[in-house]
Structure 1
Amino acid sequence: MAELNSQATLDDIVFANRNQAYGAYDLRKSYPKTVTRALIIGGVLFTLGVLTPTIITALTPEAKEVSMTEVDLMKLPPPPIDPNEPPPPPPPPVELPKVNTVKFLPPEVKPDEEVPEETPPPAVEELKEAVAAEKTQEGDPNAEEVIAAPEASAAPTKVEVAVEAAPKEEEIFTVVEQQPEFSGGMAALGQYLSKNLRYPAAAQRANVSGRVFVSFVVNTDGSIQDVQVLKGLGFGTDEEAQRVVKGMPKWRPGKQSGRPVRVKYNLPINFTLE
């Protein structure tokens, strides 16, 4: 009995006086083998999953890298000249149309014995339909006189054209010795805003109040430019603030070293519900 007890397992002890043909006993007896088999299969699958990319990389042939070289067509050398190939024939001469001419030479001073017989000058009627030249010839009456250019002429002189440079935009300052000022000072600016500022209906319905920070540039003549909203409230307040600032009269421009300069100015505008 002691030997049986020493060789008995926990399952035998638990099911000693019970029906061992019940399924629970078989499940407990086969559980260690099932767990071992599951661990082995899981380990094999995990190892295959980890090594699959390495195996695919090892079996896949490496693709050859195709190198592309950028070629500048303007820098390509000219094609080689074959010494055995005859040169191309010259272009045919351009035949200029002939015009009617009348012989009329300029006067030339000569001794009396060398003076030829006097040739009367051409009549005015002849010069209407012909051109004065060294000899008389018949040509196309519809052709116009063409002045042929000399074969060898000097290189054309390069004409330099003066190009007017674009005016340089004046620098925009943020801090200057004398800041720009609304005409009449800050009190007049407050009166202008309270008189011209309209509370948007959408902001009233949404009960929106606060400050809209507007940035703009005061030019050297005091005009307002580049109106932008730095921080807004929405509901139409941003657009209303821009409208009021754009409609401002001219300011006193800011000055740097005694001369007017362009200055960027930031202005908070209050929207308060009464």
Structure 2
Amino acid sequence: MELKKNPKANVGRNSSLYFAVGLNVMLLLTYLGLEHKTYETETVKADILMMTEQLEEDIPITTINIPPPPPPPKQLVTEVITVVEDVEEVEETFVESSEVGQDDIIEERVVSVEEVEVVEVEEDVEVPFAVIERVPQFPGCKGNNAELKACFQEKMQEHLQKHFRYPPTAAELDIQGKVFVFFLIDKYGKVAKIQTRGPNELLETEAERIISLLPKMEPGKQRNKPVGVPYSIPINFKLQEQ
């Protein structure tokens, strides 16, 4: 007897569909296997300490007996009342008020010119060095105003070279610069109101020291009257290269 295949019983007709489904299932299982994470767990033992009895230590109480301070000494206050007989009669005096009322008449008084005292106040006049009639006279300088001015500047340079001293700290720190010094030769010929302006405080202090050593001079005069003369000079602090 010959067997015949049923055309409806073809098993291989859906093989591609089954293959695709199986492949997807395998990929899903592989993905889940790769993404699966495990964590190590540690066993923690917790011990509970039960305090059944509490030890109490009896601390003895120490009592310090401090004797009380001695009582203050008693002071006997005796009050003596002396009765004085009122023999003398005191007359009451009337004190006149110093206030001025509306009905009081004010005495008019004319002040004469002779009674007014005029006090002359001398003003400190300052005249610039360039326009003063007679410049301050440095010790040893003589001549007219132009000669005194030239001699003053020459003596000033000699004074700076004589008393110049570079500050050691400024030299170590390589501090250099120009310091402008402003001062006043007052009407008595003394140096006053010294002011300095420079790049560093060390240089300013040294410049002020040099100017403060200037000698007393004959004051400058304007209209034959001693006046103050302001003056300014630059002092250059520069280190020489070795």
TM-score, normalised by the number of residues in structure 1 = 0.39
Question: In proportion to residue count, which structure has more helix?
Answer: 1
Report which of the two structures shows the higher radius of gyration computed on alpha carbons. Answer: 2
Question: In proportion to residue count, which structure has more strand?
Answer: 1
TM-score, normalised by the number of residues in structure 2 = 0.44
